[in-house]
Every structure is written in C-alpha cells, then in structure tokens.
Amino acid sequence: MARVLEGKRINEQILAELKPRVEHLAKTRRPPGIAVVLVGHDPGSEIYVRNKVKTCADLGIHSEKLTPPEDITTGELLAIIDDLNNRPDLDGILVQMPLPKQVDSRQVLLAIHPSKDVDGFHPFNVGQLVLNAPAPRACTPAGIMEMLRRSEIPVQGKKAVMVGRSDIVGKPMAFLLLHAHATVTICHSKTSNLSEECRRADILLAAMGKAALLTAEHIRPGAVVVDVGMNRVTDRDEVARIWRNDPAKLAVLEQKGSVLVGDVNPLDMAELSSAYTPVPGGVGPLTIAMLMANTVASAEARLK
C-alpha cells in the first residue's frame, strides 16, 4: 500500500526547529521581520496571506501586512518596495501574486533586494541556485526536497521527471534535484510521448495547473509521485470521471460547488505509486514552512 506523504507533519517539524532560532534572535538582537504586500482582493491570495501572518505570529516573527489600493501604479508600488528595502528591522519582503494588470510584476520582483527576497524569485537568487551557491530557494521546491529527505526517499542516482517548467516550481525544482544527484528530465506542453517520459520516473513531479492530467498511463508502478497542483473542479461529469462516481466526492461537489484535485489523477496515483502527496495537505503546508525558514535564515545572516 502506498505511503501518504503528509505535508502537515513535516511542516510541524520544520516550524518546531525554527522556533528556538527565532527565540534566540529575539533575546539577543530582535525578532526576524517580514513584510507582506497584498494588492487587491483576490480570495485565494487573502487566505494565503492570512495563513502566512498567522504562522509568523505562532513562531514569534514580526510581520506587517501592507494593502495598497487595487488601482496602484507600478511606480507607487516600487516606492513602497524601496522603503521596505531600506528598513533595517525587516529581513523579508513578499509581494503576493498575482498583481493587478496595470502593475509590471517583473519590475516589482526585480526591485526587491536579493537578501530580502524570501520567495527566492529574484534573478540573482535564481543564479545562485543554478550555481548551487547559498541564497534563498523558491519555497515550494525547497519544501519538496525537505519532504523527500525527511521521508527518507532516496534522490541520488534516481530518475526524476518534472512535468511543468514554471519559474516558480518547475525550473527551480529541476535544479534542486540535479544538485541532489538525480538524473532530471523536464517535460512540458510540447513534450512528445509524455506518458512514455513519465513512466521512466522513479520520482514523478507534476506542476502544470491541469486537473488530473496525469493518469495511470503516466505512472510507473512503484514510483514516488509529488503532486504540486491545486485545481477546483466544478463540473459534475468531470468529478464523476476523476473519482469513478465516488458518492462522497459528488456530495462534496453538491455542498461546496467544487472539489479540489491536483495535476495527477488521485485514485491512479494512490493505486500505482509507492508514496505520494495528497491534494490538499501534501505540498501546500511546506511552502509556508520554507518561507519561514528563508526569513529566519535572512535574519540570522543580517544580524551576525
């Protein structure tokens, strides 16, 4: 029977390890500090930011939430970032995506000082990742590596297939696996014979944003499957197809209007893999844990 890789358990481990480090900083210098910039009223972003702020409070990290108006200009947001860069009491700056259409997201990300880029998205930090040099790592890929390590899933010498090539997950994930001595293949929407490529994987990772796209034909029996996707399915026929007419899932759809599913078919994944991450509750909790880890490490470096 497949192991379920619960992100919440590993999240709790990481946060428990961070707490004494935060307490030491608070006693000897000052607590770590992070500013979260939330523009607009995207419901998903508001929930995510609320969870980040709560986790900061639980750890003793000082956090500030800035909520500029939705019609803010790029120049006005850059001025806010500049002020945050110059504040000595802040170790991290996080600008919640997506930003409104009139704001140049790339300019905003470039404006964050690399030492305060706790998301790990700044080109300088991406370059450090490529070189395997110290710098904040993108939180979701870093969390996945922690999950594999703490779950004692070997990476060295294994074939890893990353389906998805985003700057946030796919590309940094591939480099982290490469640095851990895996043999890495990146697949995407233009890949020929996707199922054949996926079936070569000892470790199959999916981050495409397509509900249950990968099915039994993509999973080699015994593979470890890491599903980064988070999709809401609202169509009854689609829910019935994915969960094979499971009455419980159809009841959830009736009650909530949607059902969450990753990028891998959940039943096929559970039946064929040796270990897998559930959706929800798998990779998601690790992203916030690694954001906290990046913030604490940034504070420790700044306060030496």
For 162-195, what is each residue's pLDDT tens digit?
999 999 999 999 999 999 999 999 999 999 999 9
| pLDDT confidence tier of residue 144, bands split at 50, 70 and 90 | very high
Give percent above pLDDT 90 in the chain.
95
Which domain does 87 fall in, by range?
Answer: 28-114
pLDDT of 41 higher than 90: no
CATH number at residue 217: 3.40.50.720
Same domain, 105 and 220: no
Same domain, 163 and 109: no
CATH number at residue 76: 3.40.50.10860
Q: Which long-range contacts (CB under 8 A, 24 or more apart) does 215-223 make?
A: 215/264, 215/265, 215/268, 216/265, 216/268, 216/271, 216/272, 218/194, 218/264, 219/264, 219/268, 219/269, 219/272, 219/273, 220/272, 221/272, 222/272, 222/273, 222/274, 223/272, 223/273, 223/274
Residue 253 lies inside a defined structural domain of this protein: yes
Round the average pLDDT of the chain to a whole number and report it.
96
Backbone torsions φ then ψ of 144, nearest 5 degrees: -65, -40
Coil, helix or strand at residue 65:
strand
Sheet holding 224-227, edge to edge: 3-4, 275-276, 224-227, 203-206, 159-163, 183-187
> So what's the pLDDT on residue 47?
84
Same domain, 187 and 106: no
Q: Which tokens belong to 53?
A: 């702020």
Residue 38 lies inside a defined structural domain of this protein: yes
Same domain, 186 and 82: no
Number of domains in the chain: 2
Same domain, 155 and 257: yes
> So what's the pLDDT on residue 130?
98
> So what's the pLDDT on residue 40?
84
Q: What is the mean pLDDT of residues 272-287?
A: 96
- The H helix count followed by the E strand count for the chain is 12, 11
Q: What is the mean pLDDT of residues 35-63?
A: 91
Residues with catalytic function: 52, 96, 119
**For residue 48, what are the contacts with CB-CB under 8 A and spacing of at least 6?**
96
- Please tell me the distance from the alpha carbon of residue 142 to that of residue 147, in angstroms, as a whole number: 9
